[in-house]
Amino acid sequence: MADPPARDPESLDLSAFEVPEPPPGLADRVLARLPLAPRPERRPPWRRLAAVAAVLLLALPGAWWALREFGPPHAGERDFTRRETIALGPSALAVAEPGTRLRWSLGRRGAVHVQQSVGRVFYRVETGSDFRVDTPSGQVVVRGTCFTLEVPASPASRALLSVQEGRVAVTHLLHTTEVSAGERAELLADRAPRRLPEPGSEHAGESPGVASGGPHVSRPREDASGAELESLRERVRLLEQSRPGARRPSAGAWLNPSHETLLQLAKECRLRWDAPSLQQRPHLPNAGEWAELGVTEAELAVVQDVHEAFVAWALTQLRAIYVEVTGDEDSAQVLAAHSLQYEIRDKSPELSLQQAYQRLARERAGLQSPPSDPSGMTPAERLVRFTLGLGDAYERALAEKLGSKRARELRQKNDGWLERRDSQEGCPPPGD
């Protein structure tokens, strides 16, 4: 039997063909046999948060650096109506008197730029800081010091500088003058800055001053902060003593001066004393300085503890007098001992200091007795008495740990403690 002829599928008429319905459940059975695709893993939310935090931690240091280097500087402007202490950046403080006007900005790398147009300000700047003060009559640049700058309201073209610690550079009209601790300088708008003579020198009267009744002008003083000046004077004394035929002082001349010396000092209203350094950390005496004083290695730890406790006690006493004189408790907590002493002296009437020097010089010479009731003493006299007694107080503090004999030996080794002062304020006018 022959096969039927082949037909082209495209020629067939399929329009009459009916598609049968699929069996029930066919789609489910087919899907059930297909392999399942893996579902994406869902990460816990804390992982995303941790990733974001890590990115921020990496970015923040760079952002902080960029802000410090290129961001806008911190700035301020104040007219002071009362005595006030303010921070100028992280490493400088200013104690401004009433009537002072300041503008300041903190720029790149912490550099501080101050504009002092009028008034009186005490500045304390940490070592290594980039600090500059502009006045109408010149510029003061420091790297770490304590100084007072006064710009009188009239004439505004003049400024007076007193340096208590460290050294500053004064610049105007392309001239720069360095001013050291214990020195002062005058800034004038029409001439180069110049150092002013020391108090009591034969040229002291030649320096121009503000007319009486005008703004307060800082009085020059040989105070405890003039360490560099005293060092120079000591070198001069040593050189004079080394000359052939020069009369050399006997051992203990500073601690135990002759009666003739005490009478001469009383005549001049002049005082001499020794005291330990009152500088705080990190400026406490090092091992080499202690060795120079005669402290042995076995005594070093004990002496350092005594020294730190003594400095803390001395600061407490000085702060109390400072607050009594100025009413400024905030500044009392941040100023160093030498700065506190300077500020107390500077805020005290000159006559009260002269009277205190005269009275104490006469007491030491046996010409008069100490007052029986100390309650009537002025703050200036209490400061002077406290300063003169520091050497004895320090010896007593050491004696409690090392014994009286050993404490006395340490003090006598160099004829006194680290700081030896020779100071005067001038005698008071007759009748005062």
Q: Do 283 and 144 contact (CB within 8 A), yes or no?
A: no
* Whether pLDDT at 291 is above 50: yes
* Residues 123, 339: Cα–Cα separation, whole Å: 10
150 CB burial (10 A radius; 0-12, 13-18, 19+): buried
Q: Which two tokens stand for residue 149?
A: 């700058």
Is the confidence at residue 163, as pLDDT, over 80?
yes
**Mean per-residue pLDDT, 310-325:** 94
Mean of the per-residue pLDDT values for the chain? 76
One-letter identity of residue 247: R
User: Smallest Cα–Cα separation from 68: which of 85, 90, 94?
Assistant: 90
Q: Quote the pLDDT of residue 42.
A: 59
Query: Is residue 108 scored above 80 in pLDDT?
Result: no
Burial of 287 (0-12, 13-18, 19+ CB in 10 A): exposed
pLDDT band at 70 (very low <50, low <70, confident <90, very high): very low
What is the average pLDDT across 111-127? 90
Q: Is the pLDDT of residue 46 over 60?
A: no
What does the alpha-carbon distance between residue 245 and residue 422 come to, in Å, rounded to a whole number?
25
Residue 54 has pLDDT above 80, yes or no: no
Going by DSSP bridges, is the β-strand pair 112-125/131-135 parallel, antiparallel, or unpaired? parallel
Burial-class residue 426 by CB neighbours within 10 Å (0-12, 13-18, 19+).
middle
Of 397, 395, 361, nearest in space to 381 by CA: 361
Angle separating helix axes 350-364 and 259-267, nearest 10 degrees? 160
Beta-carbon count within 10 A of 291 CB? 13
Say if residue 153's pLDDT is above 70.
Answer: yes
241 has pLDDT over 60: no
* Predicted pLDDT of residue 6: 54
- The tokens for 419 are 């700081």
Q: What is d(CA 43, CA 47) in angstroms, rounded to the nearest whole number?
A: 7
394: alpha, beta or left? (left if phi > 0; alpha if psi -120 to 50): alpha
- Select the more confidently predicted residue: 284 or 377: 377
pLDDT at 247: 45
Q: Give the residue among 351, 380, 198, 362 at the shortest CA–CA distance from 270.
A: 362
How many helices and strands in the chain, by DSSP H and E? 12, 13
Secondary structure letter of residue 284 according to DSSP: S
244 alpha-carbon distance from chain centroid = 45
In this prediction, residue 19 carries a pLDDT of: 60
pLDDT greater than 70 at residue 9: no
Lowest mean pLDDT among 20-24, 158-162, 179-183, 305-309: 20-24
Q: What does the pLDDT average to over 170-176?
A: 82
Report the alpha-carbon distance of residue 249 to residue 243 in Å, rounded: 13
Question: What per-residue confidence (pLDDT) applies to 245?
Answer: 45
Comparing 285 with 329, the larger pLDDT belongs to 329
406-432 pLDDT tens trace: 999 999 988 888 888 888 888 999 876
Work out the pLDDT band at 243, boundaries 50, 70, 90.
Answer: very low
Separation in Å, CA 16 to CA 9, 12, 281, 405: 15, 11, 110, 135
Integer Cα distance of 169 and 338 in angstroms? 21
For residue 361, pLDDT beyond 60: yes
Residue 178 corresponds to which amino acid? E
Q: Using CA atoms, how far apart are residues 47 and 54, in angstroms rounded to an integer?
A: 11
pTM of the shown model:
0.59
Q: Tell me: pLDDT of 210 over 60.
A: no
Query: Where would I find the H helices in 285-378?
Result: 287-292, 297-326, 329-332, 337-347, 350-364
Task: Examine the pLDDT at 43 and tell me if it is beyond 70.
Answer: no
pLDDT recorded at residue 287: 67
